[in-house]
Structure 1
Amino acid sequence: MTETDTGTPTGEHRACLALWAIPGLGPRTLDAVRAFAGGQLSRLASAPVRDWVSDVPVPAPVRQRLATVASLDDLASRVESACDAAGIRVAFAGTPAHPGRLVGLEDAPPLLFYRGEPGPPRRRLAMVGSRHPDQGFLPFARTFARQVAEAGVGVVSGAAEGVDRACHWGALDAAGETWAFLGSALDQLDPAQARLLPHFLARGGVFFSELPPGVRASTTTFPRRNRLIAGASDAVLVMRAGLESGSLYTADAARTQGRPVFALPGDVWQPAAAGCNALLADGRARACTSAEAICAVVGVHSGRAVPPGREGGWWEALSVEARGAYGLLDRVPRSFDEVLAQSPLSPAALTSALVELELSGLVVQHPGKRYEKV
């Protein structure tokens, strides 16, 4: 039986693991199956799949794949054996090793496969970029990431060639924590990722994937994993990106999730920076020019000034939406719905504004989405 971050998996967890291993069965379909099972997947675990597969609300291709399975218990055992053979563990949503910021996001996976030792909660920054940036940029990216990690911020990226990998190395140089979300299963690493893994395991890094053992990377899995890079982080920094860079998918995912997006500006004649410059020109990202500045954004810069005095430039640096949201809060926690009722913002815009305030250290979020001024 494969190891999870909470010990022996429950029957509910094993049923979830089995269903998650069925190709084409994503978070929304899993929710539909859970509702079909009366809110508990474990009710389906030991019953032969043939007894319920014709009635379960899943797409036809998923139904056909399910029909080849004897029982969810049997399939869970096969997945667990594959994980054990590859040294992979499973983190279910809400358990200690699962990235807490993913919980509650639309289309978030119910579990992640991982290798490494996730550390305690901390501020985390997604640092992403092109596989082929302009000449001389990779040493800069590595140094930038080292400075971020030295401040105690976790570095999140995708372990891809180029900027992603340079940022991971920068965090490892500082003995900081770094997470890599992969577009393949953890037993299907490419040669460069396989060489990187021992350094991660020895120096505080973690490899994550939502894909069960045996799944190779493809043109569809890479865009999907980008939402996890953004979702597991407090903010996203696009270091270098051309107009066709996959890093722009991560920026789009961050905006959808209400995560602040930043970009390093580049020379206008440099194609490798055209994507970053477009993000800035269109207002989809805010400019970042130093590690110190981005660390302050995620709340680890002890020298920043904060309201109520609103001294210095930090108040001016907030978006108009964040300033308005701050004015609706008090020293007594207020629910999201209470704030929304007094705000002219849409729910999505208010969520983004509150995240910005939280990351700037001006607001603290309590359980149940209750917000309080610091």
Structure 2
Amino acid sequence: MDVERRAWLTLALTPGLGPVGLLKLIAAFGSANAAAGARRAQLAPHIGEAAAAALMAGEANAAVEAAEAWLAATPGAFLLTLLDADYPAELAETHGPPPLLFGRGRRELLGCAKLAVVGSRNATPQGLDNARVFSRELAKAGYTIVSGLAAGIDAAAHEGALAAPASTIAVVGTGIDRIYPARNRELGLKLAEAGLILSEFPLGAGALAHHFPRRNRVIAGLARGCLVVEASVDSGSLITARLAAENGREVLAIPGSIHNPLARGCHRLIKDGAKLVETVDDVLAEVGRPARSAPPPREAIDAAPARKDAPQPAGAGCALLAAMGYDPVDVDTLTDRLKLTAGEVYAMLLELELEGRVAGLPGGRFQRLS
């Protein structure tokens, strides 16, 4: 690692300095290396006595050495600074962009046109399917899909986009050496090979609550637009949508059943001016098509891992209701989701119809009522 890049790392990892202090020092001294070598009396007017003392005492040294060792030992790992030529212009133009990001994977994806796809952690089966299908088709159209590697919609969006050349970027709210939640470990490993993972947090940083709004601002800042697939009114994905709107980006939302509490966040966004979308063509009509095609993937990657994020309540009837979600669905789809025979599914549907919890619709479809 060259001297200037190591100095960026030192400033970024110094306790009490923070992104704003780092950028103040770069502006004042002209380079990270000059700032790191400055005297305490020169530093204090810009960052305060405590941070200046921490920098002079080398309090970041152990963390810097650990980061250097991880970068050297980890395939595809890199540091991205705000002054690097491939730092995404969209993110640099936002308020308070992260001055330094840890990256792992296909660095060339930073230069691709990007769309954020976000939503609920506790998504319905329809929501998960929508996230996968929209992300896959948008990635085929040339958009790199950006999301947060959370359970639910985020994971489904990454899964859908992975097989396309444009692939997907995960912005995480932990250190880049950690996969959170643990259930997404396999997906994270695939992203590190065929996609890209980014984090502004130090190695080993845990999943702290205040990390996730910061992660959301990076997701919103990277993308040309933000598609919310499914979200409750208190979902963190609405924060991402708000940040996208504040940065002048397009906000789009997929509507759902009025009986689905996870559609209400999308409905609120639509009431507030978000674009209602029903198809991938609706999205492309709003954000346009990428001007250039995505780079080819390093190697073909297997499709999405087995679905583990759909809730599985106890009891056959509850399992069927969970598999139905809130939108009309046919028996073939239910047999696929539940891994049951059509006869078993029909028997469960009949029981739920008699209980007034499911209604039959024209065309052989069914919809839950509770």
TM-score normalised per structure 1? 0.70
Give the Cα–Cα distance (whole angstroms) in 2 for the partners of residues 176 and 40 of structure 1: 34
Over 3 Å counting, the alpha-carbon distance change for 1:163 and 1:60 in structure 2 is farther
1:133 to 111, 123, 142: 123
2:68 maps to amino acid: E
Distance apart, 1:131 and its partner CA:
0.3
Contact between 1:127 and 1:155, CA under 8 Å: does it hold in 2?
yes
Aligned equivalents of 2:271 and 2:261: distance in 1?
15
Once residues 238 and 175 of structure 2 are traced to their aligned partners in structure 1, the CA distance between those partners, rounded to angstroms, is 23
Q: Conserved in 1, the CA contact under 8 Å of 2:25 and 2:35?
A: no
Paired position in structure 2 for 1:122:
112
Which structure 2 residues correspond to residues 183-222 of structure 1 after superposition, within 5 A?
Answer: 183-190=173-180, 191-202=182-193, 204-222=194-212
Shift of 1:172: 1.4
Greater per-residue helix proportion: 2
Task: Please give the secondary structure, in 2, of the residue aligned with 1:155.
Answer: strand
| Distance change (3 Å), C-alpha of 1:136 and 1:104 | closer
Tell me the TM-score normalised to structure 2 length. Answer: 0.70
Deviations 1:156-197 (A, max 9, x none): 111110001101100114354100000011112232343212
Asked if 1:178 corresponds to 2:145, the answer is no
Q: How does 1:1-20 map to 2 (within 5 A)?
A: 1=1, 9=2, 11-20=3-12
Q: Which position in structure 2 is the counterpart of 1:111? A: 100
CA 118–248 in structure 1, closer or farther in 2 if over 3 Å, else same: same
- Supply the AA of the counterpart residue of 1:98: Y
Q: Report the equivalent of 2:339.
A: none
| Residue identity matched to 2:278 | T
Counterpart contact for 1:124–1:298, Cα < 8 Å = no
SS in 2 for 1:188: coil
AA at the equivalent of 1:250: T
Aligned counterpart, 1:44 = 35
What residue number does 1:289 align with? 278
Q: Is the 8 A contact 1:128 1:247 kept in 2?
A: yes
Work out the CA distance in 1 between the residues paired with 2:235 and 2:50: 32
Show the 5 A alignment for 1:152-163.
152-163=142-153
The alpha carbon displacement at 1:74 in A equals 7.8
Which segment is superposed worse, 101-110 or 54-63?
Answer: 54-63
C-alpha distance 56-80 of structure 1, shift in aligned 2 (>3 A): farther
Q: Secondary structure at the match of 2:47?
A: coil
Q: Deviations over 1:66-106 (max 9, x none)?
A: 35416x78864453224334453111224355333212322
- Counterpart of 1:167 in structure 2: which amino acid? A
Return the offset for 1:147.
1.2
Give runs of aligned pairs for residues 237-276 of structure 1, distance below 5 A.
237-276=227-266
Cα distance in 1, alignment partners of residues 34 and 290 from structure 2:
49
The equivalent residue for 2:364 is none
Taking a change above 3 Å as real, the CA distance of residues 236 and 212 of structure 1, as seen in their structure-2 partners, is same
| Larger relative contact order (CA 8 Å, sep ≥ 6) | 2
Identity, % of aligned pairs? 35
Superposed CA deviations along residues 15-49 of structure 1, whole A, max 9, x for unmatched, are 22211112443332222223443x333223345x6
What value does the CA root-mean-square deviation take over the aligned residues?
A: 2.6
> CA contact under 8 A between 2:253 and 2:270: conserved in structure 1?
yes
Against the structure 1 CA distance between its residues 118 and 287, is the aligned structure 2 distance closer, same or farther, given a 3 Å change threshold?
A: same
| Structure whose CA Rg is larger | 2
Q: Tell me, in whole angstroms, the C-alpha distance in 2 between the residues paired with 1:185 and 1:258.
A: 29
For residues 304-323 of structure 1, the aligned pairs below 5 Å read none
Query: 2:68 aligned to 65, 77, 80, which one?
Result: 80
